Amino acid sequence: MEKSISRQIAEFALNLKYEDLPTEVVHEVKRYLYDSVGCAFGGYHTKDVNILRDIYSHMAGAQEATVIGFGDKIPAVNATLVNSLMVRALDFNDIYWKEDPSHPSDIIPAALAVGEMMNSSLKEIIVAIVLAYEFEQRMCLFAVPGVRERKWHHATLTQFVSPIVAGRLMNLSEDQLVNAIGISGSHNHTIGCPTAGKLTMMKNTVDPMAVQSGVFAALMAQKGFSGTEEVFEGKEGLMDCFLGWDVKNKQPLPIKMAGRDALSTLPDWTWDVDALVGGLGDSYKILECSMKAFPTEALTHTHITATLKAIIENNVLPEDIEEVEVTTIARACDILFDSHKYEPESRETADHSLPYCIARAILDRKITTQSFDDDKIHDPKLKDIIFKIKGIASLEFEKMFPAKQPSRVTVKTKKGENHTVYLEYPKGDPREPMTTEDIENKFNALSDPLLNSQRQKDIKDMIFDCENYGIHEFMKNLVV
């Protein structure tokens, strides 16, 4: 290749203009910004958020950026981490899943914090958010199969994207932005254990930490710090270390490797460079992202929807159930049905447990943020249901993923009745998008403990008219 991958990315990122963006792309940014701010308000009371806020309040520092909701003014690099965790804390923010999964809105706080530090216009911040979605989602198509299948966490991808967002808003030169990508991409490779087995607060925090590191990398590059330009394709770069790449000839070298599950039908490990940097500006990936209708791991959504449909339409009560069979893709069985998921002890494990989510849906006939409160997790009635939930890995379904997210739920009753529901994608998927009314209902439910109805309306109106606000006024209006 004539130019390094990092340089191709930097050229596009620095040359993209607000005026280049189609109207529907700008509108979609506002929808995701609205959804993300709602998720941040939902994370306001969580323990993990407040631990980080306490640490940074004690550390103090330059008053560069606002902590959403709380109103603290702290260094932008620190506000990025707190605000990103607020968005992520309930696992209710957006989802994009192709070869890899990701939550592009984790990076929105980097755009807000750096934008506030730099006094950027909201139009510039919108461009930065477009870049966040563009490259985060393209990174999810880059490794084939994804780094998640190689037992690494998708924060490994985010480390390359956050410096692009921060660097654009900091007006870095092309060389400086290339350095920023190289700095961040050298030290944030994240192993898969935060989302495997018994989960902890790190499940929601590793990606925000990668976002924060990207902001710090941009600050370093601004001061003249150098980073590896060929951090993707060079010797012992990402592609060389993760295999499937001929570093000498700079071309894919597919290699046969086993997947995380015996049923997985994976192609040879390789890289799709064109998916990362080909056709930039022809269309925009944000239009392909999904929102979450449930505050749970993405692969649970179709199954939750199918379960609710089966029990509500057939008036099946918890005491009627003999067994529930959930047919899913192999990787969902691996992630969501291991032994820890049948006896969750924390919100983090529960919202990544398909047996728990299905059992809770059967008991309450809904799934909300309250479904993962301690009293729900330790509900004695739960054990009467959760061990009746059986996961079945399907090779057929694995072949359909990620183009579809198939689910077959069969609810078997003690009377011998079988109620089966088959679905191929959940609410919030681009093929069945959440309406603005859906997002408003979600935002209001998440922010009800903090905001009255007038404040909720004012924030919605501000976000959808954000170009006409200054960033400092915008952030001030997000303080409860």
Using alpha carbons, select from 268, 295, 372, 313 the residue that is nearest to residue 93: 295
Tokens of 125: 């911040």
Residues 26-44: tens digit of each pLDDT: 999 999 999 999 999 999 9
pLDDT in tens, the chain (480 residues): 899 999 999 999 999 999 999 999 999 999 999 999 999 999 999 999 999 999 999 999 999 999 999 999 999 999 999 999 999 999 999 999 999 999 999 999 999 999 999 999 999 999 999 999 999 999 999 999 999 988 999 999 999 999 999 999 999 999 999 999 999 999 999 999 999 989 999 999 999 999 999 999 999 999 999 999 999 999 999 999 999 999 999 999 999 877 665 445 567 899 999 999 999 999 999 999 999 999 999 999 999 999 999 999 999 999 999 999 999 998 888 889 988 999 999 999 999 999 999 999 999 999 999 999 999 999 999 999 999 999 999 989 988 998 999 999 999 999 999 999 999 999 999 999 999 999 999 999 999 999 999 999 999 999 999 999 999 999 999 999
Q: Using CB atoms within 10 A of its CB, is residue 174 exposed (0-12), middle (13-18) or buried (19+)? A: middle
CA angle 175, 178, 182 (to 5 degrees): 135
Residues 284-311: tens digit of each pLDDT: 999 999 999 999 999 999 999 999 999 9
Q: Judge contact between 66 and 478, C-beta under 8 A.
A: yes
Produce one character per residue of 37-68: b if its CB has 16 or more CB atoms within 10 Å, e if not.
Answer: bbbbbbbbebebbeebbeebeeeeeeebbbbb
Q: Which residues contact 173 (CB under 8 A, 6 or more apart)?
A: none
* 128 secondary structure, DSSP code: H
Tokens of 76: 């932008």
Q: Judge contact between 305 and 328, C-beta under 8 A.
A: no
Q: Judge contact between 238 and 231, C-beta under 8 A.
A: yes
